[in-house]
Structure 1
Amino acid sequence: MQIDILTLFPEMFNGVMQSSILKKAQEMNAFQYSTVDFRNYTENKHNKVDDSPYGGGAGMVLMPQPIFDAVDAVKSSTKNKPRIVLMCPQGEPYTQQKAEEFAEEEHLIFICGHYEGYDERIRQELVTDEISIGDYVLTGGELGAMVVIDSVVRLLPGVLGNAESATADSFSTGLLEHPHYTRPANFRGLKVPDILLSGHHKKIENWRRQQSILRTLERRKDLLEKYDLSEQEKQWLIEVDKTF
């Protein structure tokens, strides 16, 4: 996978991209990335990439020309048709399912804005996806792009080592993940559930399934409304929570 990041602050990505799983993924050639300072593409004699909005109002708006030209330059270096992702609080709420969708692509381009917003023609003509990582506003799109890139790269083949690690994650199944325990079996009087020490894999699998459903019920009941539970699971939930 090739990932290109259009940003006014390329230095922000240095630490994140050279650490942990993202560094490992590059070393194994699962993906490569580049940062593109789109200020380098401005035709403005004062090196500006933003201007005041037509019609008045507070803040500054990113001009289309530098971003269009930067995207054209990136696209000219590849034969693949990239997904062009605009990081924006107005965008589609980001989900694990979207991460899995992006992980199937060969080329992603991220546009990270600053200031008041983007010229609308950038949305209309350039981008394939507008993504928001939450209902709040950040100073710029860089932090959001880092979140999305991390969530996508870890899904690429071989990156996590164990393929089951990603498929068992919260949200990948539609439910929250079950609790985990490790040694010691008794820590300060807090004991690991006996079932996990039993060695009975089928019972452990059933316990984990129930715990996943229960945790989803307690923390994200909205997810259960979209999930296709078996009749046995529905009955078990009714026994656990009479309001279900």
Structure 2
Amino acid sequence: MKIFDLESKLETNLKQLDFYYELDSKIESKFNILIVLYSFIFVYIIELFKYFIDAKLEGFNIVFSCSFLSLLICLFFAIKYTYLFHRPEDVLYIHEPEYFYTTILENYRINLNISDDPTTDEEALLNEYVNHTYLREQEIALAFNIKAYREKRKKYYFNFLWLLGAAFFYVLTAGFVIFENRNENTKFELKNYKEILNYQKSTSMAEKPKIDPRKVITSQPIAVKQSGKTTIRPMIKPEAVKTKTENTKNK
């Protein structure tokens, strides 16, 4: 098969068209990675906004503010390229074969003044013209799709870079907020530690109310035999305790 033969050109172009159709679908599936990064960023970004507003009100923090603004810039460009990546673009497909051996063939017959019953030479000539039209359409579609794929791949590349930068500054700002919150909690605990100790000491050292042991009710435990029979012993009231004590003394 010679590379410059018409049939070999047609076959090569068809393979290349199928190849770039497949690449276009594959790059669409790669966007799932970016969805994971977007989900990772938007989980905690509301808290970062709240902290940014509080930091602006309470006092300017240059480290957090610069990191957070860098996050917003990266996120803005990432969303921009996400839109450009998913914006509907044209993809060229060649006509079905019937279009060439009916419409195109009929146009050539009219243009070349060939009758409906062509000779062998005229039929070969028509076939050659139709094949060249088919080849030209393939080349137009292939050139356009290659350019469209390269542009789409470039958009995906920039989208990934900006989103990766946003993820970096997101981790930086989120870590800063978590670290600051822990410091505030630690300061609060240390500040109130003495008060808590004093409160515990005052509670433990407080005088307990004195009770009269003679007035304490004695509660009897429940007796359970091995057969499963349960016997509840009567509760001994203070008066009964007092009576028993007196009887013992009299004896």
Same structural fold, with TM-score higher than 0.5 when normalized by the shorter chain: no
Classify the TM-score, shorter chain.
Answer: under 0.3
The structure whose residues are more often strand, as a share, is 1
The structure whose residues are more often helix, as a share, is 2
TM-score (norm 1): 0.21
TM-score (norm 2): 0.20
